Chains A and B, each alone.
Chain A
Amino acid sequence: MDTPTTYFHWGFILISVPNLVVIGGMIVLFAIGLVAPFPHAEEGEDGGKK
């Protein structure tokens, strides 16, 4: 807890590994949100998917 975190340094990009992990996790979560099947997705108010 008392030791400084590791930083990822690539050119002008400087970011801590924990921040990089959070951003990577958000991108993965967003991709899952796009492709994961949604329960009862076919049952819309217009009677279903056209």
Chain B
Amino acid sequence: MAARSSAEIEAPADSKSWTLRLRRAIDRHLPMDHLLPDRQPYYVGSWVYVFGVVTIAALVWVVISGVALSFMGPQWWHDSALGRFVNSLHFWSVQLFFIFMVLHLWGQYFMAGWRDGRAATWMIGVVIFATSILTAFTGYLSQQNFDAQYIAINAKDAMNSAGVGAFFNVLNFGQMYGLHVMLLPIGVTFLVVVHIVMVRTRGVVKPIDPEGGAPS
């Protein structure tokens, strides 16, 4: 007989322990074979499903290069060869992040990825897209060069006309830099984790008319 943990032996099903109830809820809704599957349905055998994974890989490089840039500072990323390389790595991994995020969006749009209880997953994806645009915008304002000044001075009128200039001041470098290196990346990363967990909870959406099967 396999050894059982003391919690399994002692805790009744209606236990008042919130940690036990939380653990049981996680076991019920997200078992490990859903979280880290080693097999996928046959219809996942397409490069379209790889676009989302490439987006995540690009985000990892964005974060790694961003941590190096924030640690070393603007003089390093403007004046040293390694700094310019890491700065370029940050810029180009952002380009790949957006390109593959849009390809992933197209793929999910045409396969109607919001079907069968996946609407929240789709909507969180939309919020990730919007938050990423704001993160990229504050990044352009954080470069510490004439480009950043030009963008900030032109963008302030758009922000003021939209009525958000009072609390989102693009001329305030400290505010833009703080948003770019702290709040917005944490927001994007957190939402991406939630998005992935939601995808793994329900699995990949079935094709609209699977070959040899009834439409779902």
Contact = CB atoms under 8 A, between A and B. Distances in A.
Given A22-B99, A26-B99, A30-B106, A44 B50 contact: no
A34 B213 CA distance: 20
Interface in A18-32: 22, 26, 29-30, 32
Given A30-B107, A33-B103, A44-B40, A50 B47 contact: no
Contact of B46 (A34, A43, A48): A34
Nearest to B44: A44
Interface string B24-52: 00000000000000011111111110110
A42 B42 contact: yes
20 contacts: A29-B99, A33-B46, A33-B47, A33-B51, A33-B103, A34-B48, A41-B45, A41-B46, A42-B42, A43-B45, A44-B39, A44-B41, A44-B44, A44-B45, A45-B41, A45-B42, A46-B41, A46-B42, A50-B211, A50-B213
Interface residues of B, number: 21
Residue among A32, A33, A42, A48 with max Cβ neighbours from chain B (10 Å): A33
The dominant DSSP class at the B interface is: helix
A41 B103 contact: no
A12 B193 CA distance: 40
Given A50-B211, A50-B213, A32 B47 contact: yes
Contacts, number: 55
A43 B45 CA distance: 8
Contact of B48 (A22, A33, A49): A33
Contacts of A22: 99
B196 interface: no
Interface in B97-118: 99, 102-103, 106-107
A49 B46 contact: no
B100 to A, nearest CB: 9
Contact of A44 (B42, B106, B213): B42
A10 interface: no
A3 B136 CA distance: 25
